[in-house]
Structure 1
């Protein structure tokens, strides 16, 4: 079958191991289903896989793609949940020490067919296209959990999103606006700040700039480059919710500010199957849709990878079949 895959770990030049070609047809174990992929979205996680982060060398070649939407053999249209836990685990699957993601232990969605546990295929809302639905399982689910499960923020409060144009950031803008929060964002370029306003942000600012007032919560996916600004931006008692560190993982903690102002730092990773179901219902009820920055045929995947590697995203990059 057709697939986009990583042939080997390539830490210095991730695109060097990116292959657009053929892979064997997958087997379907008991309890799993085969999904004919219609659309799949690109995430930073796919670049980490190409670099060999979070995956052992012996697990290559690995079909890329955490997210996807497609059709079951009986014609049911589905959205995929990419967190796969131990069947014996009870409770929040993101806390399962044996959990894994598509592209770590199991082959991913950038292919004609992907095989997942039956519980990981959720019904696709009729109001979402396959391309829109393919954005939900990682970036939008991560944003949903950060905002609605982890932050504790309420309608009317002010949230700051660091980095204006990535998949999680654009999802946070749309979700926060729909939930009645005042949404501020930062961005490195005028184009990215304009995109944030177009998506519904109330104000946008240059990265690192002094804000008009302190905020109730900050949403961090950038890490080292924005951490000190995030700490300074918070009101006493405020919260930083962190789900990534794309610029580096070792920010200065500023512990004195942390304890003196009684700030909270909360980690957040992906989301549960139930949270994905809630997210899909919320999008349908609120009438919000993901911003797709580029939609490409899957055989042109290298172009999409080059865009995300260069930081040229303006919403989600989606591959279609």
Structure 2
């Protein structure tokens, strides 16, 4: 799963020399494709909070230097021995959840394999010239979509789809999405609207609330609560700061979908409310190859994505600052030189 770094060749990449620490631009060993692997010339990569967390040492990369970047799309540059599905020059996008090929037999639950690793966390990611992964992690780039659009969806839209699929979201049901602005929250809004749900969102930022309504949300509330609706499904990425109001919003038989905890790692759970209201609590981070393939098909059919800003790869530090201040609504994407 890790690229072969034995070659003396080098590439240019944003990399972390140590952690805690700061990213620097410079030469790192050039990863080569081994058996069953594909080397991709990166055309676009997108930011995630993982890029910030790595600089704090939580999580700490397995080795240094470390190249970040969870969301990656590009062009096949080299094929490892035994790769037959792809050809040099194919335009592709990479699933962030890396698993052994044998895990694909688990279908929708391949992401639950104990050996699952995240691109850009446990191994080198895409904020550099090249990225090497196993061929079974690739899907063909959706037609008629830009590189920036394609790089925006592997983490957030796949995670959102896995949550909403497991939550059995049906047309006409009501969804509350907390903390609109983040990648998964924004993708969940677009997917819920696509599925025919009524969508409401929360944010501390009046401008983000207004923008969400422009994008199709039926209503938007201040995240400090309370929220004047009843919901079948809540998609929460905030955690303890909004948990009580979010759970109170759920109807009997409601489903709480958790994809983050920006306000902290621990919440209090009222057990009688859980069992008397017969609530489900679901969590997800990324998704299976089968789910990723389905989301890729939705992208090809025209599923909207929300891009906050598109910057050149050289402006990665500026992009990090935008993420750090939670200023974005949608994905911040880096375009790479051809």
Question: What band does the TM-score fall into relative to the shorter chain?
Answer: over 0.9
Alpha-carbon separation, structure 2, partners of 1:147 and 1:204: 20
Say if 1:83 and 1:93, in contact at 8 Å, map to a contact too: no
Q: Does 2:46 correspond to 1:41?
A: yes
Structure 2 unaligned blocks of 5 or more: 1-10, 78-87
Deviation at 1:86, TM superposition (A): 2.6
TM-score, normalised to structure 2, is 0.89
Say which is worse superposed, 287-296 or 87-96, in terms of deviation. Answer: 87-96
Pick aligned residue for 2:114 from 79, 97, 101: 97
Deviation at 1:118, TM superposition (A): 0.6
Q: Does 2:331 correspond to 1:316?
A: yes
Describe how 1:10-29 pairs up with structure 2 within 5 A: 10=20, 16-29=21-34
Alpha-carbon separation, structure 1, partners of 2:42 and 2:281: 38
Pick aligned residue for 1:133 from 142, 147, 150: 150
Deviation at 1:55, TM superposition (A): 3.3
Aligned residue in 2 for 1:13:
none
Say if 1:132 and 1:289, in contact at 8 Å, map to a contact too: no
Q: 1:211 to 1:104 in 2, by over 3 A?
A: closer
Alpha-carbon separation, structure 1, partners of 2:318 and 2:169: 38
Question: SS at 1:68's partner residue?
Answer: strand
Provide Cα deviations, 1:53-95, integer angstroms capped at 9, x if missing partner: 2335x51221010111100132111011111113343312211
Describe how 1:240-259 pairs up with structure 2 within 5 A: 240-259=256-275
Alpha-carbon separation, structure 1, partners of 2:322 and 2:229: 34
Alpha-carbon separation, structure 2, partners of 1:263 and 1:22: 51
Say which is worse superposed, 91-100 or 129-138, in terms of deviation. Answer: 91-100
Question: SS at 1:136's partner residue?
Answer: coil
Alpha-carbon separation, structure 2, partners of 1:120 and 1:213: 40
RMSD: 1.4
Number of equivalent positions: 313
Deviation at 1:211, TM superposition (A): 3.0
Deviation at 1:289, TM superposition (A): 2.5
Structure 1 unaligned blocks of 5 or more: 11-15
Deviation at 1:319, TM superposition (A): 0.5
Deviation at 1:220, TM superposition (A): 1.1
Deviation at 1:107, TM superposition (A): 0.6
Alpha-carbon separation, structure 2, partners of 1:35 and 1:75: 9
Q: Does 2:80 correspond to 1:66?
A: no
Describe how 1:234-273 pairs up with structure 2 within 5 A: 234-273=250-289
Describe how 1:170-189 pairs up with structure 2 within 5 A: 170-189=186-205
Question: SS at 2:154's partner residue?
Answer: helix
Alpha-carbon separation, structure 2, partners of 1:105 and 1:266: 24
Q: Does 2:320 correspond to 1:305?
A: yes
Say if 2:142 and 2:299, in contact at 8 Å, map to a contact too: no
Pick aligned residue for 1:143 from 142, 160, 163: 160
Provide Cα deviations, 1:19-76, integer angstroms capped at 9, x if missing partner: 12221211211111000000000001222222222335x5122101011110013211
Provide Cα deviations, 1:193-233, integer angstroms capped at 9, x if missing partner: 01211222111111133333311010011111111111111
